[in-house]
Chain A
Amino acid sequence: MTDQTVRGTVVIDVEACKGCDLCIDACKPGVLSMTTDETNTRGYRFAELSVGCTGCRACADVCPDFCFQVFRFHEPKSWSPEGGFS
C-alpha cells in the first residue's frame, strides 16, 4: 500500500449505530465499512473508518441514527502503513 492523503476524519458513535449500511454506499471515497463479527452492546454491527476520508459529510447526511461527527483537517495529512500519519 502506498502513501495516502487524508483530508478529514469522522468520529463514530458506535453505540448509536444500528448497522444499516446506508453510510457505506453514501461514502464516495469508500472508506467506511461495517464490522463483520463485532457488535456494539445492543447487538448491532457498526461502521468503521479506514484510510482516505475527505470529510465530505455524506455519511452524516444519510445516517438515520446520527452517528457521525465530521472533521476536516486544517492541512491534509499523508498516511503510510509503516509510519501512520505524518
Chain B
Amino acid sequence: MTERRPDGLTVLPSDVAPTDAIQVADFTPDLVDVGEHHLCPGCGEPIAIRAVMDGISLLGLADKCMAVFGIGCSTAFSNNLDVEVLQALHGRAPSVATGVIRMRPELAVFTIQGDGDMANEGLQEVLHAAARGENIVCIMLNNGVFGETGGHLTVTTTIGQRTKNTIEGRNAAEHGHPMRIAEMLAQIDGVGYVARGAVNDAGNVARTKRMIVDAFTAQQQQLGLSFVEILTMCPTGWFIPTDEAPAYLAETIAGTHAVGVLRSELT
C-alpha cells in the first residue's frame, strides 16, 4: 500500500476516499466548478473567491444572487462559478451593480474586482455607490499589482513592495504613497459594513469567510453598501517563489493594509 520515496519519506496512498471516516472538507466547494483554471500557481484569488462563494452558500443566497465582475485575473475565474455573472467594463462594476439592484431589489448583488480595477480604473464608481448607499456588496481582491494587465504598480501597492515597475520596491519619493481603500470607504455615510481580510493562511481564510457572511447579512438587512477587501497573493507579480508569498503578504502588505473589521452597522 505505502511506497517509499528516494529521500526516505513514506508516502501514503491518497487517491481513494476512506470508508471508515467522515468528510470534513471537500475539494469541490459549493458553487465552484471543479476542474482546472488558468490562474498562476500560488494565486490567492481562487481562495478568496471560494470564500465568497462559501459565504453565499452558507446564507442560502445561491439562487437569488448576481455577481458583477470587473476586468482582471479574477474575471477568468468567473466561468467556474455556478451563479449568475454579469461582466462590466474596467472599473465600472459598482455602477452596473447599481442598475441591477435598482431593477431587482430582492437580489443579493455583489461585485468582484481587483485592486487595479476598483482603485485605479474606477475609484469614483465605488465611492459614489457608497455615498448613494446602494445596497450591494463590493469585494476587492487586493494584491497591489495589475496582474492581468502586465504587473504594474497600483495605488494600493505598499511602500517597499516589488512590482514590475517598482522592481527595487515602491518608494514614496518616486512613486507616491499607497491609498487605503477600506479606510476611505469606512468614513462614508451610507456604508453598512467595511472589513479587510486576507488569504495568506488558514486562520485568515476562516476570518475572511466570516467577514463575507457579515457583509451579505448587512446587504440582506438593507444597511447600505458593504465592502470587503481581501489581500491576496500574487507571486508572479511580486517576483518571488510561491511558498514565500504568504509571508511576504504578512510582512510587506498587511503592515499598511491592516486586517480587521473597520465599520459595522450590524446589530
Contact = CB atoms under 8 A, between A and B. Distances in A.
- Chain B CB within 10 A, most for which of A44, A65, A74: A65
Contacts of A22: 42, 242-243, 245-246
Contact of B42 (A13, A64, A70): A64
Contacts of A9: 12, 14, 18, 21
A73 B21 contact: yes
Interface string A28-68: 00000100100000101000111101010110111111111
Contacts of B36: 15-16, 42, 65
Q: Interface size bucket, B side? A: 35 or more
B42 A21 contact: yes
**Chain B interface mostly:** loop
Contacts of A18: 40-42
A60 B21 contact: no
B18 A71 contact: yes
Interface string A8-32: 1111111110111110111000000
Interface in B227-255: 235, 241-243, 245-246
A12 B46 contact: no
B46 A65 contact: yes
**Chain A interface mostly:** mixed
Contacts of B11: 48-50
A68 B242 contact: no
Interface stretch (B2-10, B130-138, B210-218, B259-267): B2-10
Nearest to B23: A71
Q: Interface size bucket, A side? A: 35 or more
Given A71-B17, A72-B21, A49 B199 contact: no
Nearest to A81: B10
A46 B194 CA distance: 37
Contacts of A57: 24-25, 202
Contacts of B18: 9, 71, 73
Given A9-B14, A50-B11, A68-B27, A84 B246 contact: no
Nearest first, the 6 A-B pairs at minimum CB distance are: A21-B243, A20-B42, A18-B41, A71-B21, A60-B25, A70-B25
Interface of B: 1-2, 5-7, 9-12, 14-18, 20-29, 32, 34-37, 39-47, 50, 199, 201-202, 205-206, 235, 241-243, 245-246
9 contacts: A8-B21, A36-B6, A36-B7, A44-B41, A60-B25, A61-B47, A68-B27, A69-B23, A69-B27
Given A64-B46, A69-B17, 11 more contacts: A9-B12, A9-B14, A12-B15, A13-B34, A16-B34, A18-B42, A20-B42, A20-B242, A25-B243, A53-B12, A66-B27
